[in-house]
């Protein structure tokens, strides 16, 4: 399993075009344009398409044609999550709906006064999850790598404005560990991904989809060190304009 470099694709001009469509025409016309953008990446992002095709063909066991079609669908669905993030976090008019599973258990974590670790993965829409968690009346901190291109990041910040969550950037000097500790001491939530790693991180190999895969140990080591409750959360897109927030597993302390 190759390590991740912490960077995302896309251009500032591309983001500006989509934001303009969202402001003047809404979500569904933006999805229509996205079909052509997804097809471009399907044709010309050979390295990522090759890996995605291998996943559907070898790991999921789909036939060749179905795997090719799902490579395209993967780009299209991923693009939708980026559009949805911009719409919801910038406050643009929309018709999105949501339902929540396990919210009462997260409220118990808030009432416990120790803060908590919310662990997720690159499944669904993690920034939408952070946006939805604001209803818990507890500050949300998301730990992430600062790998987006600066011009794109600055432009999105101008569109979205102040985020509903606080971003803790992973740094080489491990100062982010102190920020995490400070957040937990204030009874706040700290959200982390536990499915990708960058070169040099501590990992553990586990069987996954029929083969050994490397997973980062960091989130679980931190949960153990700080002795705080842990929960697994996801925000899954179930239809064009509907999200399902799920809390998976029992509340526990690592």
Question: Percent of the chain, pLDDT > 90?
Answer: 28
Could you tell me if 115 and 237 lie in one domain?
Answer: yes
Among 90, 125, 146, identify where a domain stops.
90
Mean residue pLDDT across the chain = 83
pLDDT tens figures, 6-38: 455 667 788 888 889 998 999 999 999 999 999
Element (H, E) at 213: strand 211-216
Look at the chain and report how many structural domains it folds into. Answer: 2
CB atoms within 10 A of CB 72: 17
Strand duo 189-193 + 116-120: pairing: parallel
Do 134 and 68 sit in the same domain of this protein? no
Place of tokens 């606080």: 166
Whether residue 5 lies inside any domain: the answer is: no
Residue 3 lies in a domain: no
pLDDT tens per residue, range 223-233: 888 989 998 88
Q: Are residues 120 and 184 in the same domain?
A: yes
Contact criterion met (CB below 8 Å) for 223 and 156: no
**Stretch 84-103: mean pLDDT, rounded?**
85
Sorted by sequence, the CB contacts under 8 Å of residue 247 that are 6+ apart come out as 101, 102, 103, 105, 106, 231, 232, 233
- The residue length of the chain stands at 254
Domain region containing 115: 97-253
4 lies in some domain: no
pLDDT of residue 89 exceeding 80, the answer is: no
198 shares a domain with 73? no
CA distance 8 to 121: 16
Q: Are residues 76 and 113 in the same domain?
A: no
- pLDDT of 196-212, one tens digit each? 777 777 888 888 888 88
């Amino acid at each position: 399993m190759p390590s991740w470099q912490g960077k995302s694709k896309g251009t500032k001009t591309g983001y500006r075009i989509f934001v303009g469509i969202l402001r003047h025409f809404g979500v569904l016309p933006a999805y229509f344009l996205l079909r052509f953008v997804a097809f471009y990446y399907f044709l010309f992002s050979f390295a990522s398409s090759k890996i995605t095709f291998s996943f559907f063909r070898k790991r999921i066991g789909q036939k060749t044609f179905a795997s090719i079609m799902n490579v395209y669908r993967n780009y299209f669905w991923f693009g939708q999550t980026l559009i949805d993030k911009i719409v919801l976090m910038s406050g643009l008019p929309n018709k999105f709906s949501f339902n929540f599973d396990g919210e009462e258990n997260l409220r118990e974590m808030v009432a416990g006064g120790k803060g908590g670790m919310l662990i997720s993965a690159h499944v669904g829409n993690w920034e939408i999850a952070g946006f939805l968690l604001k209803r818990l009346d507890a500050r949300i901190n998301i730990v992430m790598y600062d790998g987006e291109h600066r011009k794109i990041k600055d432009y999105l910040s101008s569109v979205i404005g102040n985020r509903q969550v606080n971003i803790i950037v992973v740094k080489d000097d491990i100062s982010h560990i102190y920020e995490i500790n400070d957040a937990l001491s204030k009874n706040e939530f700290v959200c982390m991904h536990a499915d990708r790693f960058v070169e040099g991180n501590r990992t553990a190999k586990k069987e996954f989809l029929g083969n050994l895969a490397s997973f980062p140990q960091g989130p679980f080591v931190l949960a153990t060190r700080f002795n705080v409750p842990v929960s697994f959360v996801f925000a899954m897109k179930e239809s064009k304009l509907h999200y399902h927030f799920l809390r998976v597993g029992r509340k526990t302390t690592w």
